[in-house]
Each structure stands twice: as C-alpha cells, then as structure tokens.
Amino acid sequence: MPKDHGIGASPKRREDVRFLTGTGNYTDDINVNGQAYVHFLRSDVAHGKINGIGTDVAAAMPGVVRIFTGADFEGVGGIPCGWQVTDRHGNPMQEPAHPVLAQGKVRHVGDPIAAVVADTYEQARDAAEAIELDIEELPAVVDMKAALAEGATKVHDDLENNLCYDWGFVEENKDAVDQAIKDAAHVTTLELVNNRLIANPMEPRVAIGDYNRATDDSTLYTTSQNPHVIRLLMGAFVLGIPEHKLRVIAPDVGGGFGTKIFHYAEEAFCTFAAKAINRPVKWTASRSEAFMSDAHGRDHVTKIELALDKDNNFTAVRTETYANMGAYLSTFAPSVPTWLHGTLMAGNYRTPVIYVNVKAVFTNTVPVDAYRGAGRPEATFQLERVIDKAARELGVDPIALRRQNFITEFPYATPVAVEYDTGDYHGTMDALEKIADLSGFEARRKESEAKGKLRGLGVNCYIEACGIAPSNLVGQLGARAGLYESATVRVNATGGLVVMTGSHSHGQGHETSFPQVIAEMIGIDESMVEIVHGDTANTPMGMGTYGSRSLAVGGSAMVRATEKIINKAKKIAAHLMEAAEADIELKDGQFSVAGTDKSVAWGDVTLAAYVPHNYPLEDIEPGLEETAFYDPANFTYPSGAYCCEVEVDPETGKVTIERFSAADDFGNIVNPMIVDGQVHGGIGQGIGQALLEGCVYDEDGQLLSASYMDYAMPRADDVPFYNVDHSSQTPCTHNPLGVKGCGEAGAIGSPPSVVNAVIDALQSGGHDVTHIDMPVSPSRVWAAMQG
Amino acid sequence: MYNFDFEKPTSVADAVAALAGEDAQALGGGQTLIPTLKQRLASPSKLVSLAGIADIKGVCMSDDGQVCVGGATVHADVAANAGSYPALAALACNIGDPAVRARGTIGGSLANNDPSACYPSAALASGATIVTNAREIAADDYFQGMFATALDEGEIITEVRFPVPEAANYQKFEQPASRFALVGVFVARFADGVRVAVTGASEEGVFRWSAAEEALSGNFSADAVPAAPGADGMISDLHGTAAYRAHLIAVLTKRAVAACG
Ligand SMILES: Cc1cc2nc3c(=O)[nH]c(=O)nc-3n(C[C@H](O)[C@H](O)[C@H](O)COP(=O)(O)OP(=O)(O)OC[C@H]3O[C@@H](n4cnc5c(N)ncnc54)[C@H](O)[C@@H]3O)c2cc1C
C-alpha cells in the first residue's frame, strides 16, 4: 500500500491552495507606500553608437521624478559574471563590462538606454517617448561563425575580438581522440543546431527597490530563484552595499526555469534609484520586454563525431561547438557550454576518450544563460542523435547499440572529469521497454499507415550532473561562488517546526516535500512543519534553486540540522526520564527508553526546551534551534531512458506525439506525485524545444520571434499523456537522503527521442532524411522530405 | 496605451455620428485593437464601442435563405447559432481560444482583414455581402489586400450575409505559435459552381484560387484539384516558406473537398 505520510507518500501540494485560488503573493502583488514606477527605454537597434540622449523635454513631462542614463552609473559597478572559464591555452576568458544602463554603445535590441522614473507607469512611458536619442546604427553581429571571421565588427570595442573563449576539454586527450577517430572502423558525423529558446515563465520579471533613509537599509523585492545570490552579487559587485544593509526578498515566484537565477540590471537599477530619489521604485516587465531582456537559453551550433570499432564499441567522441553568449556575459553563462556540457559528453556510455571544443561567441543578441537543464540538454541531444544516426548507418538496433556500450560498473570515472557514483542503465532501459510497449509498435505503425500517416519510434538515454555541487570542485572549475546549501530548523515550544531554507521554491513544491522528510525523521505529522524561504532577512545564507539541487543539497542541509535537533532533544528526553542518552529512541514522535515502557512525547521535550524548569542547564542550552550547511562530496547523476512515438503527416509535415514514455532513476523519492509532475513539465518543455520553440533573429539583429504570435510555446494539446516510471532506483551514495534530483530530467531527456522518432518515421516512408534541426516544424519536415 | 475618449452608443446612427470625429475608431471585441493600443502602435482620439448596439448582434436567416450575421456578433455566437451553415459555424468555433471567441466579432475580423484570419476566406468563398451603415459590398469587391478593405473611414460593418452553399468546408492549417491560419482554404459548392478562397498564404491577402474553382466546378472531387499554385507572391516567414504555403493550398483544398462528402 502506498504510504500516506512521510517519505514516499504523495500528499497534495499545500502551496497549490494559494496558487490555484489567486491568493499567492507575487512580487507584482507587493506595493510599497509612495512607490514610483520605472520604464526602461530600450534599444530598438541591435548595435549602435550612442551619440546623445536628450532628456530635457522628457524630464519636464507630468509626473516625471527623474531620468537616469548610463552616465548616472559611471561610479557604479557593472553587472558581474559569476563564472570564469579558462581557455585551451590557459588564459582567462574575455570578459566585457556590462553597465546597468548602456554606456557609449547599445549591443542588442532591448539593451536599456535610459530609465524614466515617474509617479505612474504610463507617465514614465509617455516621457520615455519624448527622450531624444541620437544613435548611430552599426553593423550587427548575429551569426556566430561570421562573428569570429577576420575583420568582423566587434560587439565590444575594447576586447580583442568576439571570441569569449576557446575551450578544450580534456585538452590532454585531444591527440588520443584524433588518433582513435583515424583508427576507427566507422565514424558517424552529425552537424546540428541546438535551438535558441526563451524561457517564458508565466510570471514576467519584477523588481521593487526600497530605501530607508533613517536606517540606511536597502530592500529589493525581486522575482528570483536565489535571493542570497542576488544580495551578494548586487551588494558586493554593483552597488557596494554590505549584506547587513541589504535585504533581498523573493516571495512567490511564478516559474523560473533558470532565467530567474541571474542578477539583472533592472534589479540593480531599482535598488540604486530608490536611494537616489529616496522613494521606492517598481518595475514590472511587460511580456514584450521579457522577450528581449530575460536571458535566453541554448543556442549551440555543433559538429559531433562518434567513432566505433568493428564490433560497434564506441572508441571516441569529438565535438566542436559554437556557443552564443549574446552581447554580455550573464551570471553563469560561461559555465553552461563548458562545465555543464563538456563533462556530460560521456553520457551513459563507456567511451574511452572524448574531446570537446567550445568556442563561446559574443553577438548582438540578448545574453544567453542557463535554461532548464543548462548544457546537459545540449550534450544529451548531440550524443543521443549521433548514436541514433550511427545505428542507422550500421544497420543495428539503436537500443542494442546503446546497451552494448552502457557503463555497468560504478563508481565510474569518465574521461571528462566526473565520477558517476551509481546508476543502472540496463535496469532503466528495461523499465522503459516495459512501459513503452515496444513489442506493440509494429501494430501501431500499421494502424498509422492505414490512416496515411508515417509512424516513428525514437529512444534515447540521458545522464545529468545535478545537485549542483561541491564548492571546492566548482571553485576549481571557475565558479566565483560556493554551492552549498543551508537550513535552520527552529522547533517551537509546542512542538511545531519551522525550516528556514536557502533553497527557493518557485513551483517545485518544497513546502510539501520538505516537511515529509522531517515528518519521517521525527515521526510527526507533516502539518507540524512549515517551510520558510525567499527572504535573506530570515533565512541562512543559501545558494538557491537550480541544477536540480534543492532536495539533494538543500534537503540534505535540512536533514543535518534536524539530526542536530534530534540529538539535542534526546539529551533533554534522557534528562526528563532520568535515563542514559544512549538508551533513548525516537519513534512516532515518542522518545522512549530502550527496554522499558518509559516514554515522553515530542511535545513534552520541546516544551521543556523552552520552559527549562526541569532541564540540564549545566550541560545544554535551552531552546531547540539548529543550523546546518551542507556541501556535497559530488554531483548527483540522475539518468533515464525515454521513448517517443510520433506520427508524421506526409502531406503537411506536421508531427504529432502519440506516445511518450519516460523511465528515470532519481535514486530515492520523497513525493512520487511531485516527481511525476516535474517530469511531465520537463518533457513538455523538451517537446516544446523539439517541435515548437525557436528564438530567431534576422541578420540585422532584430528579434523576429518577439511575441507569442511567433514564438510557439507548447500548449496542452501539443503533448500526449505520459507514461512515467521511476521504479529503477539507485540511491545517491553521498547525500543522506540518497536522492538525485528530478527537476531538469524531462527537459534534458526528451528532445532527442522526439527527433529520433521523426527521423524513424520519415525513413519508414522511404525518405532519406538523416537530420532535421529543432524546432522540427511542419515546414522543416516538409522541406526535408522534398530532399 | 495613450488616453482616448470612450463612447458606447446603442444605435448604428449614433455610432456613425460618434465616429465622425477626427481619429475616432470603432471598437468591436478589441481582440486585435486593444493589443495594438497596449503596444502604443495606435493612438485613436476616441473609441466607439459597437457592443451596445443590439441591432447588429446575432445570427438569423433571411427570407431568401442567407445566413445573416450582425456585424458585432462574437465568434462564439456564430459557432453556436449558425447551424444552418455548418462550415461557417465550425470555422467560428476554431478561431483563437474561448476568451477570444467570447469577445472577437465578425465585423472586427473582416474590417481588420488580417492576411491570416479565417473569416475572410468564408466571406469570399461564400460570395457574402458585407453590409455597412452606408451600402452593400460584394465580398469580391471588399478584400483589397493585406489589412486593406473597401471600407471608408468611419464606415461600420452592420451585417454579413452568407448565401448557404450545398456543401462547404474550411480547412485550417495552424501556424504553430499564433494558431491563426498558416494557410486556410474554404471551399463552397453552389449549384452554379464552386468557389475556393485561400487565406494565410498570399502577400495580397485572401484570394480566390480560380484554377481550382474551374476544375472543381467541372468535377467536384479531391482528385480534380489542380497542382499547387506557384510560390510567387506567397508569404515566406519563420513558420513556412512560400513554396510550403503554396503546397499546403493544394493539400488543404483536397481535404476540404473530400470533407464536403
Ligand atoms: C489569441 C488570439 C487568437 C486569435 N486567433 C484567431 C484565429 O485563429 N483566426 C482568426 O481569424 N482570428 C483570430 N484572432 C483574431 C480575432 O478573431 C479578432 O476577434 C479579430 O481579428 C478582430 O475582431 P474584434 O471584434 O476583436 O475587433 P477589434 O479588435 O475591436 O477591431 C479590429 C479592427 O476592426 C475595426 N472594427 C471592429 N468592428 C468593426 C465593425 N463592425 N465595422 C468596422 N470596423 C470595425 C476596429 O476599428 C479595428 O480597426 C485571434 C485573436 C487573438 C487575441
């Protein structure tokens, strides 16, 4: 029988009561007394020299409080980058300045030029239209390869060229890889694009700066996945405000998907301006602004080669990728195509040598950074596509080819610097084969053919490095921050608990799943546990939520703090029952003395801690509150096998997804329903990337997909019902919960199986099509079929 | 949005009078106009809502058997009440989403004449009459290219009269993002011939595919549909090349004919 409580149960998400009844408290719901509104005047050209910004007329317009331009920020720091990549030759990446408001040049459509603060939002917008801009348009750099050509226009005049870095990984393996490819019995080559995406969380970004002149305290309310990170980056690097004078609050956040990790200029602006005008300043992005100012995702152009020996064993992988950074380096941008991508190129396979080359390129486009999966979807897509192509070229079954090359022994050190602790790739593939009903496929294909449709089946595996991550390791890799997580567990006198966590929940369901863990540990009801997050004033320093790290890292910190609580509570219980501490057992919320019928309840002990009349004051302090910081020893390595079945309408090229099956190994699972939901959502985004979503610029750097009229988000009827299985479980060996993280899996694991299925369908219809770039739109499929 | 005055008259005459002012503009369901205003791409001095004019709302049957749709009738109403012209009701039922259908009007759609909109193909293929406060305009004269119509400044569509064909069908191939018609084909078979109107495809807006009309008037079967028209003059954008759109015209025409039974 499924559990109804604790770890493994699926209680309904308690946060959904407010989310589904319109009673959430999002940043835009917050209004600070006396607030003014800011409207950003943004560049409508991709690249230009600012000759002048005339603000006199605008400044005199009704309601205008003040107009800021780049000149107001000359003494202020720029938006920092949180990760420094070292190139193949040992040199640091080229790192351009990123001013809060443009200085000297505009570098992408949407680059903020001036900020108008007024009594109302409409007044600010009216005045912004009266600003006289003198901008001399420069040629835009959009295509990455063209950006690297000799003599290309430079996005940043003070840099040598548009190359951020040329990264080789593992550089020492390069010769061995070249040799292995020369010696191979077969080499499969694939050139592909990992399409640029716009995250489009339902809630656009919002920021409110507030300043208290009496105390010199600044507060920023913002739509962030990690308020402490924003406090650190903005306080230390941009505005020079020490942490104790700066509070960052990220209340309910309506979806992040990575794009709300980063520190954005608008946050720094509102905080700065609130002090400058001594009045709160609020900004709410319109959807159009979100399209041209939220960091975009993906955007890789890759050539991958897979070498095999005569027995079809993989012998080497070599890749060359161009990764778009956009016009500036967003917070974690440099890490995405490198450490979150190159380290995953072994996938689930025993390839002995691997070489990954990545050229990161500046272009006149919106900055690109982590988006759900971040680097790992790009790695998975190219590897799983090239394996499929190899299977077709060699005439072998794609599942058998994968199985033959699976890693089977753990721990396994890959040639790309990571060590997988656990996994069972055959087990996960077995689970997939069951739920995907592979044996019924031929019959389903016949049914489709009878309707005039081509049916295809595509499979892929994935591996991801999650639970990001060990601080010392990421430090060596260039991170300018640690990646631990923290929790303070406060037990109240009457026994209820409050957990203050550095993990941030913006839809993941922490308020439901985290209490399940504590309920299990103490043996009390989940309703006795409350989760507090999102405010630097009342939570310990934490790094926030991304990289599927909340339960694996934040949850582990909470476990460690709760262990400390239980240890102390046992001491109190021992005192109350006049027994030895070593004999105290905790079960179902009762402390008992082993071998006796003596017991005290959890609530008796917590009350004693705060009303310490009968209490060992000479040995322990009163109160019951503990903090723990947890820094994992390794990443976690969730893995899985996915299967997609599509129908292609050969007349129109339209692809519909008929079945989708996902078998994942997430290690131990706390709330199976929430895990299912995370997988469903991730697959939805993966299908979006595979079939629908594409962010497109024209050659002048104008954003063509600038609204939902042209940027296709997946809708309910674009996705099928999913078969999801997580029965294959190899617990993580190095965190106390044995969990691996499930937040990104769906988005990482699904695009290759969709495209593999489309290729399978087309080939079954006699079309010699080996690849179609995403999004695999009807028009692209049709064009591919025309040859 | 810029500031504007707002009026909601209850008669066509009052609406026409209200629209006489400089830069005044009619407001139907606002599904096109309001987003335009929000983006500050238009700055009418006055909006004259047609939603309060009961006379130009609703669907009825004329004595000569035409389906008459009031100019301010919302798509949901047509979907529910144009049962005597099933292809028209089905078309209305598949415009946008329920919220759009609850507010968007046939008059607004035809006045706007978006090259990807659905209604223009129905009006043109049916040989409808667009009735305004001033005159009656045959569909063949009404559509004059992308976003261009025969309407004069301040002229209000009060009714659209659709002759009911013996058989008709609308095939819409959705643009993946907007779900407007990437290409839409409306085929209407009348006793005296077949009319085929194509939306979404041409840089000139909705048009009649005369080669198909001729062929189908002689032999109303999917096999009779001629080869796809040339790609010249077809729209090419993110979602499909001109050649693809041209190809879809033939595919959808065949499907529409087949669906006519
Ligand atoms: C999300 C979304 C999806 C959509 N999908 C589709 C789709 O799939 N297919 C499709 O065809 N359309 C679609 N539309 C457009 C929709 O049908 C609109 O309703 C229509 O284009 C405009 O009608 P309206 O009544 O809202 O007009 P408004 O927006 O109010 O006005 C549009 C223009 O027409 C003028 N006007 C309005 N009424 C009259 C009148 N009676 N006489 C003269 N001029 C008038 C206005 O002055 C204005 O210039 C969609 C719209 C949205 C927002």
Query: pLDDT tens digit string along A383-437?
Result: 999 999 999 999 999 999 999 999 999 999 999 999 999 999 999 999 999 999 9
Identity of the residue in B173, B177, B248 whose CB atom sits nearest the CB atom of A712: B177
Calpha distance A24→A12 (Å, rounded) = 17
Angle between helices A556-576 and A602-610 (to 10 degrees): 80
Q: Which tokens in the block code for residue A150? A: 């000799």
At residue A1 the predicted structure's pLDDT band, cuts being 50, 70 and 90, is low
Calpha distance A771→A751 (Å, rounded) = 13
pLDDT for residue A787: 86
3-state secondary structure string, chain B?
CCCCEEECCCCHHHHHHHCCCCCEEEECCCCCHHHHHHCCCCCCCEEEECCCCHHHCCEEECCCCEEEEECCCEHHHHHHHCCCCHHHHHHHHCCCCHHHHHHCEHHHHHHHCCCCCCHHHHHHHHCCEEEECCCEEEHHHHECCCCCECCCCCCCEEEEEEECCCEEEEEEEECCCCCCEEEEEEEEEECCEEEEEEECCECCCCEECHHHHHHHHHCCCHHHCCCCCCCCCECCECCECHHHHHHHHHHHHHHHHHHHC
Pocket test for ligand 1, best of B32, B106, B182 (most atoms within 8 A of CB): B32
The DSSP bridge pattern shows strands A485-491 and A655-665 to be unpaired
CA distance B240 to chain A (A): 5
Q: Which tokens in the block code for residue A49? A: 């020299």
Question: Over the range A550-564, which residues count as b (16 or more CB within 10 Å of their CB) and which as e?
Answer: bbbbbbbbbbbbbeb
Tell me how far the alpha carbon of residue A5 lies from the centroid of ligand 1, in angstroms. 52
pTM above 0.80, yes or no: yes
Among protein residues, the one whose CA lies closest to atom 32 of ligand 1: B108
Q: Which residue of B has its CA nearest to A288?
A: B39
At residue A616 the predicted structure's pLDDT band, cuts being 50, 70 and 90, is very high
Identity of the residue in B173, B176, B248 whose CB atom sits nearest the CB atom of A712: B176
CATH class of A484-630: alpha beta
Cβ–ligand 1 contact at B200 (below 6 Å): no
CB-based contact A646:A456 (threshold 8 Å): yes
Candidates B4, B40, B247, partner chain A, best to mutate (most A CBs within 10 A): B247
Calpha distance A118→A474 (Å, rounded) = 43
**Ligand 1 atom index nearest CA of B105:** 25
Tell me how far the alpha carbon of residue B205 lies from the centroid of ligand 1, in angstroms. 16
Calpha distance A535→A503 (Å, rounded) = 11
Calpha distance A784→A221 (Å, rounded) = 49
* Residue B74 bridge partners (DSSP): B105
Average confidence (pLDDT) over A260-283: 98
Q: First vs last Cα of chain B: how many Å apart?
A: 49
CATH class of A421-464+636-787: alpha beta
Which residues fall within 8 angstroms of residue A590, CB to CB, at 6 or more apart?
Answer: A523, A599, A600, A601, A602
Residue A219 exposure: Cα atoms within 13 Å on the Cβ side: 22
Among protein residues, the one whose CA lies closest to atom 19 of ligand 1: B104
Cis check for the bond before A469: say yes or no (omega within 30 of 0): yes
All structural domains of chain A with their residue ranges: 421-464+636-787, 484-630
* Cβ neighbours, 10 Å, residue A731: 18
Calpha distance A119→A127 (Å, rounded) = 11
Among protein residues, the one whose CA lies closest to atom 20 of ligand 1: B109
Calpha distance A702→A45 (Å, rounded) = 7
A350-362: per-residue pLDDT in tens?
999 999 999 999 9
CA distance B96 to chain A (A): 12
pLDDT for residue A152: 97
**Ligand 1 atom index nearest CA of B34:** 29
In A, which residues are within 8 Å of B244 by CB distance?
A: 653, 778-779, 782-783
Find how far residue A192's CA is from the centre of its chain: 23
Cβ–ligand 1 contact at B12 (below 6 Å): no
Identity of the residue in B1, B40, B238 whose CB atom sits nearest the CB atom of A710: B238
At residue A469 the predicted structure's pLDDT band, cuts being 50, 70 and 90, is confident
* Cβ neighbours, 10 Å, residue A621: 12
In the predicted model, is pLDDT for residue A287 greater than 80? yes
Angle between helices A425-436 and A398-405 (to 10 degrees): 160
pLDDT for residue B261: 81
Tell me how far the alpha carbon of residue A340 lies from the centroid of ligand 1, in angstroms. 46
CB-based contact B203:B146 (threshold 8 Å): yes
Per-residue DSSP letter, A718: G
In B, which residues are within 8 Å of A288 by CB distance?
A: 39
Cβ–ligand 1 contact at B79 (below 6 Å): no
In B, which residues are within 8 Å of A654 by CB distance?
A: 173
In a 10 Å sphere around its CB, with 0-12 CB exposed, 13-18 middle and 19+ buried, how is residue B107 labelled? Answer: buried
**Ligand 1 atom index nearest CA of B74:** 25
Calpha distance B68→B159 (Å, rounded) = 7
Angle between helices A376-394 and A745-764 (to 10 degrees): 30
Q: Which residue of B has its CA nearest to A692?
A: B176
Edge-to-edge order in the sheet of strand B157-163: B59-61, B66-70, B157-163, B129-132, B136-138
In the predicted model, is pLDDT for residue A242 greater than 70? yes
Per-residue DSSP letter, A763: H
Length of chain A: 787
Q: Which residue of B has its CA nearest to A125?
A: B1
In the predicted model, is pLDDT for residue A39 greater than 70? yes
A670-680: per-residue pLDDT in tens?
999 999 999 99
CB-based contact A228:A542 (threshold 8 Å): yes
Calpha distance A399→A301 (Å, rounded) = 26
At residue A769 the predicted structure's pLDDT band, cuts being 50, 70 and 90, is very high
CA distance B123 to chain A (A): 24
A49-103: per-residue pLDDT in tens?
999 999 999 999 999 999 999 999 998 999 999 999 999 999 999 999 999 999 9
Q: Which residue of B has its CA nearest to A698?
A: B238
Calpha distance A458→A757 (Å, rounded) = 4
CB-based contact A301:A202 (threshold 8 Å): no
> Residue A364 is which amino acid?
N
pLDDT for residue A645: 98
Average confidence (pLDDT) over A24-32: 98
Domains A421-464+636-787 and A484-630 share a fold: yes
The DSSP bridge pattern shows strands B46-49 and B5-7 to be parallel
CB-based contact A225:A256 (threshold 8 Å): yes
Q: Which residue in the block uniquely carries the two structure tokens 């310990």? A: A540
Task: Check residue A423 and give left, alpha or beta (phi > 0: left; psi -120 to 50: alpha).
Answer: left
A633-652: per-residue pLDDT in tens?
999 999 999 999 999 999 99
Domains identified in chain B and CATH numbers: 5-162 (3.30.465.10), 167-260 (3.30.390.50)
> Residue A466 is which amino acid?
C
Q: Do the chains contact at A705 and B238, CB–CB below 8 Å?
A: yes
Calpha distance A453→A372 (Å, rounded) = 33
Q: Do the chains contact at B247 and A782, CB–CB below 8 Å?
A: yes
Q: pLDDT tens digits, chain B, 261 residues: what are they? A: 899 999 999 999 999 999 998 899 999 999 999 999 999 999 999 999 999 999 999 999 999 999 999 999 999 999 999 999 999 999 999 999 999 999 999 999 999 999 999 999 999 999 999 999 999 999 999 999 999 999 999 999 999 999 999 999 999 999 999 999 999 999 999 999 999 999 999 999 999 999 999 999 999 999 999 999 999 999 999 999 999 999 999 999 999 999 998
Number of A/B CB contacts below 8 angstroms equals: 48
